[in-house]
Amino acid sequence: MTRVAKPEHTPEQEQVSPEALAAFGRYAGPATLILSSLADGAKHGYALTKDIEAFAGVRLAPGTLYEALSRLEGQGLIEALESNDRRRPYQLTAVGAAALRAHLDAQRHVADLGLRRLARSWGVV
C-alpha cells in the first residue's frame, strides 16, 4: 500500500491561530475567499474574481479585492510571483495555507454545531 506523505509541518504553521483572519476585520470574508481560491494554484486578480464568483457566487469589487490582497501579502499569507505581463499572479504561502486551514476548521465547527442543533430542535436535516 502506498502511503501518502504528509506535508511538512513547519514551526510557522504551528503558530497560526483561527483568529489570524479574524484580525482582518471587514476584510476577513474576502480574505477567506481569496485564500480558498488560491488553495488550488496561483491566480492573478481577474482570475481570482472569476473563480470566487464561480464557487461562492460573490463578485469581489476590484478595490476590495486589492485591499484584501495587500493585507494578505503584508501578513505573509500570500506572495506575488514574477510575471512577464502586467497581471501579477499570487500564490498561497505555507503560513497562509495553515491560516486558511485553521480558519476553515473553526468555521466547520460552528457549521456542524449549528446543523446539529437545527436537527435536534427543529427537525431540519
Partner 1 sequence: MSEIRQDLERRSSRLLRWYPKDWRSRYGDEFAELLVAEMADRPRSWRRSADVAWSGLLARLTSAGLTDHAIEPGDQVRASLASLWCALGVFLIFGVAMWSQLTIGWRWSPPDTRSTYAAMLLMSGAMLLFCVLALMAAIPIAGCILARVGRGESRGLLRPLLLLLVGAVFLTIGSRHFGNGWPGTGGHPWAQQGLVPGGVAAFMWASTLSVTSYWAHPHALAAFPTAELAWMAASPVAIVCEMVGAAKIVRRADLSRRVLRYEASLARVAAFGMVAFLVGSCSWVIDGHSGPNTLFHTGAIDVAGLVLMSVALAVAERALRRARHGGLALMQR
Residue 79 touching partner 1 (CB under 8 A): no
Q: Give the range of 14-22, 32-40, 61-69, 108-116 binding partner 1 by CB under 8 A.
A: 61-69
Residue 74 touching partner 1 (CB under 8 A): yes
Residue 65 touching partner 1 (CB under 8 A): yes
Question: Cα(98)–Cα(15) distance, rounded to whole angstroms?
Answer: 9
What residues contact 22, with CB distance under 8 A and at least 6 apart? 28, 103
Residue 109 touching partner 1 (CB under 8 A): no
Of the pair 70, 91, the CB lying nearest partner 1 is at 70
Minimum gap (Å) between residue 59 Cβ and partner 1: 9
H runs (alpha helix) in 11-92: 11-15, 28-38, 45-56, 62-74
Dig out the grid coordinates for 120 from the structure. Answer: 435536534
CA 117 to chain centroid, in Å, comes to 27
Report 31-60 residues binding partner 1 (CB under 8 A).
44-46, 49
Under DSSP, is residue 79 helix (H, G, I), strand (E, B) or coil? strand
Of the pair 62, 114, the CB lying nearest partner 1 is at 62
Dig out the grid coordinates for 54 from the structure. Answer: 464561480
Q: Are 60 and 33 in contact (CB under 8 A)?
A: yes
Contact residues toward partner 1 (CB under 8 A) are 23, 25, 44-46, 49, 61-67, 69-71, 74-75, 85-88
